[in-house]
């Protein structure tokens, strides 16, 4: 997709009230010019999460999370930057210009999907939907769940949706691209792809419809029919139920993965709202990466048969590679979540989920039973477990498992490490840093930024803090010669902030923090967030005095360096004319320093 125009991003940022938006998720209390609450991104009992209404940014002193309204939505809902901009734009009624063909196709597909969803929902409520309503009721699906998941019904005819889309002025070519209709073999028209099926909209994390899944109510095949790949529907990316699960995932700290739509609805009926389901595919690395945005723990709740266990084992290395902690809940043989709920009730299903065991530990235990008694069996067990150990991204966790397994198999840790290295080129080898390591890296960046803030030259720190608080002070910086500031992250940040303040006014800080085409280096971003969040310069008069004082301090330091160089030249100079010139220049420096110090004393 093409890049969203900067003026549109700026308009959305300006019109979006970050206090109002964050307040949907966090109870905020005003203190002075800022709002405070408990951080939604890590557990805490004392509020360290701050929202600055004037700058339209947020920052947590506890975990270091921070940014503008787009960054909050990205982190809170797991969206990419363009998706966060589009979601906010839709809420504010701001049209996003579609800059490229890919964006035109995506927008057209979304419009077609929205129209189709309205049709399917209307059909379920109408006279054609009686059998579908009865089918859903027999499966325990309540009206609340029907509304929450926008469940609908595709009637038996071949052109019900086609006719509706024509009436809604949706081009059938767009509907075809979205996978809603198919072209007749004769080439003279289209027919409905979904017929005689209960239909489930499949949405992205923001709730926008990407595609549909249809469940046959009788013996029609296939039993499940999903949308084909389209500009907005990629089965390797989407997870059914994710939008409805986000709040529960944040509260529980886990994601429950099930296999089908009715399995997921069964968990909702049992009060386990943190469930998601892949759509017609095994869990992919993209799924795992998306899940890791919201939680650190996954519970796999697959069927209790051999196929379900095999699916759990295939998913394990994919999830481990993203730094997730994976548990497995083993259903009774022959049951799925839906049938277990129907037979044994809510308590049985909740007990099954809550008793989930660490899956890798379970596989190790099973392998050890098979490995008893012979060296060959021990070697086979080690090789069978190696792909899972190799997938663990956190080196500390991997080393702990290696030590545990080597002890139980009575194999030296070095031999097991060698087995892991020998298989490093297999499919489950980790080629990118896991979120566990990424988290450690992020904490390292925050710590480095903290050190950088403390070690930053006080005058530079003061200038960044004052300008971040009051962009209208930018004209005062005309007195600053960038050469007076020592090269380094502080100088680079100051100059970037000055440019942004001159171009965007008080939105300059938020603009720099936007995950756009020219993001700040992470250390500078963290430094800017910390300095922007610190109190002390809310008074514009105090900030103005601070800028003048800091600029004078930097000029004095530059004059001192210049005088040292001139003094050194003076000592070795033998030319009378040059001696006079050097002396005059030194005197000029002394006079200028005196003027600067005098001006500082009057600030």
Q: Give the CATH number of the domain where residue 260 resides.
A: 3.40.1360.10
Give the β-pairing of 49-52 and 57-60: antiparallel
pLDDT for residue 414: 87
Give the pair of three-digit tokens for residue 236.
């390797």
Does residue 165 fall inside a structural domain? yes
Examine the domain organization and report whether 111 and 82 are in the same domain: no
Kindly give the pairing relationship between strand 209-216 and strand 197-203. Answer: antiparallel
Confidence band, pLDDT 50/70/90 cuts, at residue 373: low
- Residue 435: band (very low, low, confident or very high) from pLDDT cuts 50, 70, 90: very low
388 and 490: one domain?
no
Shared domain check, 457 and 579:
yes
Half-sphere exposure of 167 (CA within 13 A, CB side): 10
**Same domain assignment for residues 380 and 466:** no
Query: What is the Cα 360 distance to its own chain's centre?
Result: 26
**1 in a structural domain:** no
- Residue 502 pLDDT > 80, yes or no? yes
- Answer whether residue 410 is part of any domain: yes
Pair 109, 146 in one domain: yes
Confidence of residue 518 (pLDDT cuts 50, 70, 90): low
Same domain? For 442 and 552 the reply is yes
Please report the pLDDT score of residue 440 as a whole number: 43
14-68 pLDDT, tens digit each: 888 999 889 888 888 898 888 999 988 887 778 899 999 888 899 998 888 999 9
Would 515 be classed as within a structural domain? yes
The confidence score (pLDDT) of residue 517 equals 52
| Predicted pLDDT at 171 | 95
Task: Please indicate whether residue 563 or residue 43 has the higher confidence score (pLDDT).
Answer: 563
pLDDT of residue 450: 53
CATH classification at residue 77: 3.90.580.10
- Residue 168 within a domain: yes
CATH of residue 518's domain is 1.10.860
Residue ending a domain, among 92, 117, 152, is 92
> Does residue 372 lie in a domain region?
yes
pLDDT digits (tens, 9 = 90+) for 219-248: 888 999 999 999 889 999 899 999 999 889
Are residues 182 and 230 in contact, defined by beta-carbon separation less than 8 angstroms?
no
The answer as to whether 288 is a domain residue is yes
Contacts for 229 with CB less than 8 Å, ≥ 6 apart: 179, 235
Residues 392 and 415 in one domain: yes
For residues 61-88, average pLDDT: 87
Query: 338 and 366 share a domain?
Result: no
**What sign has the CA pseudo-torsion 370, 375, 376, 378?**
positive
Query: Based on the domain organization, do 450 and 582 belong to the same domain?
Result: yes
pLDDT tens per residue, range 380-410: 888 889 999 999 988 889 999 999 998 888 8
User: Which of 340, 355, 370 is the last residue before a domain boundary?
Assistant: 355
Question: Residue 153 and residue 132: Cα distance in Å, rounded?
Answer: 7
The pLDDT of 66-89, averaged and rounded, is 86
The pLDDT, as a whole number, for residue 466 is 92
State what percent of residues in the chain have pLDDT above 70. 91
232: in domain: no
* Measured distance CA(537)–CA(362) in Å, rounded: 57
What pTM value is reported for the model?
A: 0.68
Task: Name the domain count of the chain.
Answer: 5
Task: Based on the fold, state whether residues 75 and 136 are members of the same structural domain.
Answer: no
Cβ atoms of 178 and 208 closer than 8 Å: no
Say whether both 443 and 573 belong to one domain.
yes
Task: Name the least confident of 94-103, 166-175, 197-206, 586-595.
Answer: 94-103
Based on the fold, state whether residues 556 and 466 are members of the same structural domain.
Answer: yes
Integer CA distances (angstroms), 537 to 266, 319, 468, in order = 54, 46, 10
CA atoms within 13 A on the CB side of 384: 17
Q: Which domain holds residue 408?
A: 361-422
- Tell me the pLDDT tens digit for each residue of 340-368: 999 999 999 999 999 999 999 999 998 88
**What is the mean predicted confidence (pLDDT) over 107-129?**
95
As a whole-number percent, the residues of the chain with pLDDT over 90 amount to 49
CATH number for 179: 3.90.980.10
């Amino acid at each position: 997709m093409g890049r969203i125009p900067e003026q549109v991003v700026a308009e959305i940022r300006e019109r979006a009230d970050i206090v109002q938006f964050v307040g949907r998720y966090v109870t905020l209390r005003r203190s002075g010019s800022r709002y405070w609450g408990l951080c939604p991104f890590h557990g805490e009992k004392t509020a360290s999460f701050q929202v600055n209404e004037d700058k339209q940014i947020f920052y947590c002193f506890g975990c270091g999370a921070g940014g503008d309204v787009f960054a909050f939505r990205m982190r809170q809902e797991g969206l990419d930057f363009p998706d966060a901009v589009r979601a906010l734009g839709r809420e504010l009624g701001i049209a996003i210009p579609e800059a490229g063909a890919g964006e035109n196709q995506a927008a057209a597909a979304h419009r077609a999907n929205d129209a189709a969803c309205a049709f399917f929902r209307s059909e379920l409520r109408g006279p054609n939907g009686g059998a579908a309503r009865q089918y859903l009721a027999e499966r325990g699906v309540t009206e609340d769940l029907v509304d929450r998941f926008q469940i609908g019904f595709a009637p038996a005819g071949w052109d019900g949706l086609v006719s509706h889309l024509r009436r809604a002025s949706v081009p059938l070519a767009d509907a075809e691209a979205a996978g809603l209709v198919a072209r007749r073999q004769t080439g003279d028209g289209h027919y409905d792809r979904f017929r005689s099926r209960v239909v489930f909209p499949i949405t992205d994390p923001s709730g926008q419809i990407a595609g549909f899944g249809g469940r046959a109510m009788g013996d029609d095949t296939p039993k499940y029919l999903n949308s084909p790949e389209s500009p907005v529907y990629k089965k390797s990316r989407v997870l059914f139920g994710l939008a409805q699960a986000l709040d529960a995932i944040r509260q529980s700290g886990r994601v429950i993965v099930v296999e089908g739509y009715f399995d997921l609805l069964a968990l909702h009926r049992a009060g386990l709202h943190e469930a998601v389901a892949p759509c017609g595919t095994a869990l992919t690395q993209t799924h795992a990466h998306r899940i890791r945005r919201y939680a650190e723990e996954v519970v796999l709740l697959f069927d209790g048969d051999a196929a379900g266990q095999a699916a759990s084992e295939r998913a394990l290395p994919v999830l481990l590679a993203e730094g997730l902690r994976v548990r497995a809940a083993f259903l009774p043989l022959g049951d799925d979540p839906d049938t277990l709920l129907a037979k044994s009730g809510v308590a049985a299903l909740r007990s099954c989920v809550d008793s989930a065991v660490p899956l890798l530990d379970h596989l190790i235990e099973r392998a050890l039973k098979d490995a008893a008694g012979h060296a060959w069996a021990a070697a086979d067990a080690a090789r069978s477990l190696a792909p899972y150990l190799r997938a663990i991204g956190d080196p500390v966790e991997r080393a702990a498992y290696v030590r545990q397994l080597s002890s139980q198999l009575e194999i030296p840790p070095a031999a097991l490490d060698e087995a892991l290295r020998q298989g490093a080129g297999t499919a489950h080898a980790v080629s990118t840093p896991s979120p566990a390591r990424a988290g450690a890296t992020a904490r390292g960046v925050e710590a480095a930024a903290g050190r950088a803030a403390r070690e930053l030259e006080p005058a530079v720190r003061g200038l960044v803090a004052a300008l971040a608080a009051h962009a209208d002070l930018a004209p005062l910086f005309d007195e600053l010669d960038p050469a007076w500031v020592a090269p380094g992250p502080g100088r680079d940040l100051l100059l970037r902030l000055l440019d942004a303040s001159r171009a965007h006014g008080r939105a300059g800080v938020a603009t720099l923090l936007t995950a756009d085409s020219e993001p700040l280096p992470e250390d500078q971003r963290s430094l800017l967030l910390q300095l922007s969040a610190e109190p002390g310069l809310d008074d514009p008069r105090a900030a103005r005095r601070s800028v003048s004082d800091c600029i004078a301090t930097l000029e004095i330091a530059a004059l001192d360096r210049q005088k040292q160089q001139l003094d050194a030249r003076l000592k070795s100079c033998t030319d009378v004319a040059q001696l006079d010139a050097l002396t005059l220049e030194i005197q000029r420096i002394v006079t200028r320093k005196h003027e600067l110090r005098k001006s500082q004393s009057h600030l």
